[in-house]
Amino acid sequence: MSVRRAVFAALPMIALLPVIVSAQSTDTGVIDPPLSSRNANYTIAARLDPGAHTITATETIRWRNITRATATELQFHVYWNAWRDSRSSYMREAVLGAVRPNADAALRSEGDRARIDVTAIHLVDPDVDLTATQRFIAPDDGNTEDRTVMTVPLPRPVKPEESLAIRIAWTAHVPRTFDRTGVVGSYYFIAQWFPKLGVLQDAGWNCHQFHSSTEFFSDYGTYDVEMTVPRGWILGATGVERERRDNGDGTTTYRYGQDDVHDFAWTTSPDYIVRTAPFRSGTLPPVTMRLLLQPEHAGQAERHFAAASISLRHYGEWYGPYPYGHITIIDSAFQSGAGGMEYPTLFTAGTRWIAPRGATTPESVIVHEAGHQWWYGMVGNNEFEDAWLDEGLNQFSEGRAIAASGVPDHLVLRYFGGFVPYVFNDVVQTREVDSNLLQVYREVATRDTPSTPSYRYFPTSSGGITYAKTALWLNTLERWIGWPVLQRGMSDYFATWKFRHPKPNDFFEALTRAAGRDLMPFFDQVYRGSNRFDYGVDDLTNVREGDHYRSVVVVRRFGDAIFPVDLLVTFTDGERITEHWDGVDRWKAYAYERPAEARSAEVDPNRVLLLDVNWTNNSKTTAPRGGIAATKWSLMWLRWLEDHLLTWASLA
């Protein structure tokens, strides 16, 4: 019997479609014409047993080879096995950097850990049983104890543009929450939960192990998912509800579907209260916002909708419209550890019991996670290798959107275990320092080179490089070449790469095209280098020569990184001179002969170079002002305290 012909002939070939300008989205999650290649399509049926904390499921994956390579095997992510025991690469990395609060897996009881056991693997039509051929591999670090990548050899190779269907059955144990996934009480958040194909590329399978500080990567397709849960429980999921049936045995089956996404997550709990609200803004397509809220946060529904609307509006106007027609916001349960995470058409927010006005809880998390629909959802970069392409672009965009929306953003300190907040109305947080995480960046500025694959960053400094350094260099670029040019470059990148998998050079090329000049020297400094940026005024002297003064200002490059900076020199008679220094040499002296003395000199007076790790050496003056210095130092200390207390919580 010929396996190959029957398997491949049974499946229709779907042609790769050109970029679509507009698409209709309906309440069923169907998008026609397609926005993506739809080469990895999942039909899943899952049953949750809350008593045993298990999920029993089957999936049929219809996959098409859209590369120039021939596939001789399939590789799958089996993410939950990272939390099976303390010997997985994820857990070893978590211990190395103490990244996750859940690095205590070794101490957990079996019932609180996770696992996925694949019980059957079959090629479909005709049936070929491949169950016994599955094995685990560790392409990143060779850890033979890691079970997060499964390979299955194919009885026949799959050539370019050929397709196959494969059916997998598995049972999974739902953990007490690990890394935003699991169960607390009767609250379930189920993500990265099914055996998921890696991405076949021309160079072979791209299927990394699960690492403690990086995320995910997969192809686009159509998801059609049935979830069976106890009757009366509320359910939210990627896509929209297509069907609901009472099984007559105390359970309800929900069927959800969505086209043109690369992942599927869901949540269920008997406690959610459900709210919906429309998003409308100018010519942008309308979106129905669905909110699953914890009962104790019932009064905060409007703030959730308003914050999600900030992203739908600003990201939509700056980069391109949101095409799905619906978005689901999940308010995760207290201490579930599930807050602040993005999935296609769904994200988890994160609020507090007392959320005072004037502070951006819950707004900043919602704007960020909704924003991931653009950077991660629609533009599907490889989060294992280039995490900054989604997290960094999103951190930058979040800060910009919050500033543009005028949401008041004041320092908040929380007392009594975080329950009781106090808003400092006279301490306004800024986009540059707070949203862009300046202090987080400064602490880790030289610890990793951003062009290193993200999963190989040192665990504790990866956030500072991925989120903060990227946000700061994008904001530096905005201040240098202007927002209209940067916005044009980013929207061009979005239009070109939505529903595809770009690499960093694709982003750099889009920005270079928009700027109309070579920006590669800048990207060499901020992306391919790990050097410190630090410019300062080294010396300012005035010498009387007859009827005039000779003034000399020495500017210095204290760090190894290079960026062009301005120098502003102010004289006692009010004259001001601005110099443009290319910043290449280690120092440069500017001399003036004027009737008045030079009173002050300031390098980078407009704070274009936000990456400068030390602003206190940026200026010198001939008129000492001790009182001002004391005030400045106390403000810096307050800012340091503020940074430490607040920024860590916002890294999601």
Alpha-helix residue ranges (DSSP H) falling in 287-351: 301-318
Cβ 376 to Zn ion shortest distance, Å: 7
Q: How would you classify the pairing of strands 341-343 and 346-348? A: antiparallel
Strand residues in 287-379 grouped as ranges (E): 287-293, 326-330, 341-343, 346-348
Please give the Cα distance from 365 to 102 (Å, whole number).
21
Measured from the CB atom, is 8 or 467 closer to Zn ion? 467
With left for phi above 0 and alpha for psi between -120 and 50, is residue 582 left, alpha or beta? alpha
Compute the distance between CA of residue 85 and CA of residue 108 in angstroms, rounded to an integer: 9
Return the range that interacts with Zn ion (CB under 5 A); candidates 293-301, 327-335, 385-393, 508-516. 385-393
Binding to Zn ion (CB under 5 A): which residues in 389-428?
A: 391
Sign, CA torsion 173/176/181/182: positive
Residues 339-374, buried b or exposed e (16+ Cβ, 10 A)? bbbbbbbbbbbbbbeebeeebbbbbbbbbbbbbbbb
Report 282-301 residues binding Zn ion (CB under 5 A): none
* Segment contacting Zn ion by CB under 5 A, of 46-54, 384-392, 509-517, 534-542: 384-392
Nearest distance in Å: CB 651, Zn ion? 8
Give the amino acid at 366: I
Answer yes or no: are the C-beta atoms of 332 and 343 closer than 8 Å: no
Distance between CA 288 and CA 601 in Å, rounded?
54
Q: Using alpha carbons, list the distances in angstroms from residue 101 to 94, 213, 260.
A: 9, 12, 34
When the beta carbons of 162 and 391 are compared against Zn ion, the nearer one is: 391
The residue among 237, 154, 142 whose CA lies nearest residue 197 is 154
Tell me the window of 46-54, 383-391, 506-514, 619-627 that interacts with Zn ion (CB under 5 A): 383-391
- The footprint of Zn ion on residues 303-362 (CB under 5 A) is none
| Cα–Cα distances in angstroms (integers) from residue 400 to residues 219, 328, 368, 472, in the given order | 29, 23, 11, 12
Distance CA 53, CA 190 (A): 11
| Smallest separation, CB 23 to Zn ion (Å) | 26
- CB closer to Zn ion, 180 vs 208: 180
Which residue in 409, 407, 373 sits closest to 393, CA to CA? 373
413 contacts: CB under 8 Å, gap ≥ 6? 421, 422, 424, 645
Question: Binding mask 241-280 vs Zn ion (x if CB under 5 A, - otherwise)?
Answer: ----------------------------------------
Structure tokens at 576: 């001001």
Question: Residue 279 forms beta bridges with which residues?
Answer: 287
> Encoding tokens for residue 488?
């044009």
Report, in Å, the least distance between residue 340 CB and Zn ion.
Answer: 8
Residue with Cβ nearer Zn ion (134 or 364): 364
Whole-angstrom distance, CA of residue 37 vs CA of residue 14: 8
C-beta closer to Zn ion: residue 224 or 391: 391
Least distance to Zn ion, CB of residue 391, Å: 5
Please report, as residue ranges, which positions from 553 to 612 form the binding site for Zn ion (by CB under 5 A).
none
Nearest approach, Cβ of 329 to Zn ion (angstroms)?
Answer: 15
Strands (DSSP E) found in 377-494: 410-415, 420-428
CA distance 130 to 156: 12
The single-letter DSSP state of residue 632 is H
Q: Work out how close the CB of 98 gets to Zn ion at its nearest, in angstroms, rounded to a whole number.
A: 21
Task: Report the nearest approach of Zn ion to the CB of residue 379 (Å).
Answer: 13
Task: Kindly determine how many residues on this chain lie close enough to bind Zn ion according to the rule CB under 5 A.
Answer: 2
Q: Which is nearer to Zn ion, 172 or 370 (CB)?
A: 370
In whole angstroms, how close is the CB of 413 to Zn ion at the nearest point?
A: 24
Supply the minimum distance, in Å, between the C-beta of residue 56 and Zn ion: 32
Q: Are strands 163-173 and 346-348 parallel, antiparallel or unpaired?
A: unpaired
At its nearest, how many Å lie between Zn ion and the CB of residue 563? 27
Nearer to Zn ion, 259 or 369 (CB): 369
> Stretches 89-97, 386-394, 480-488, 586-594: which one binds Zn ion (CB under 5 A)?
386-394
- Using CB under 5 A, which of the segments 297-305, 554-562, 614-622, 644-652 binds Zn ion? 644-652
CB nearer to Zn ion: pick between 86 and 361: 361
Taking the CA atoms of the chain, what radius of gyration do you get in angstroms? 27
| Shortest distance in whole angstroms from residue 368 CB to Zn ion | 6
Is the Cβ of residue 366 or residue 652 nearer to Zn ion in the bound state?
652
Q: Which one, 134 or 373, has the nearer CB to Zn ion? A: 373
CB of 398 to Zn ion, least distance (A): 8
Q: What is the dihedral of CA 431, 436, 442, 445, to 10 degrees?
A: -150
CB of 372 to Zn ion, least distance (A): 6
- Contact between 199 and 233 under an 8 Å Cβ cutoff? The reply is no
For the bound state, the minimum distance from the C-beta of residue 237 to Zn ion, rounded and expressed in Å, comes to: 20
Query: Measured from the CB atom, is 91 or 652 closer to Zn ion?
Result: 652
Give the residue with the Cβ less far from Zn ion, 341 or 555: 341
What is the rounded CA–CA span in Å between residue 232 and residue 223? 24
Stretch that binds Zn ion, among 23-31, 319-327, 388-396, 475-483 (CB under 5 A): 388-396
| Choice between 78 and 393, CB closer to Zn ion | 393
Task: Identify which of residues 256 and 376 has a Cβ nearer to Zn ion in the complex.
Answer: 376
Between strands 251-261 and 240-246, the pairing is antiparallel
The nearer residue to Zn ion, 223 or 388, going by C-beta atoms, is 388
Q: Which residues bind Zn ion (CB under 5 A)?
A: 391, 652
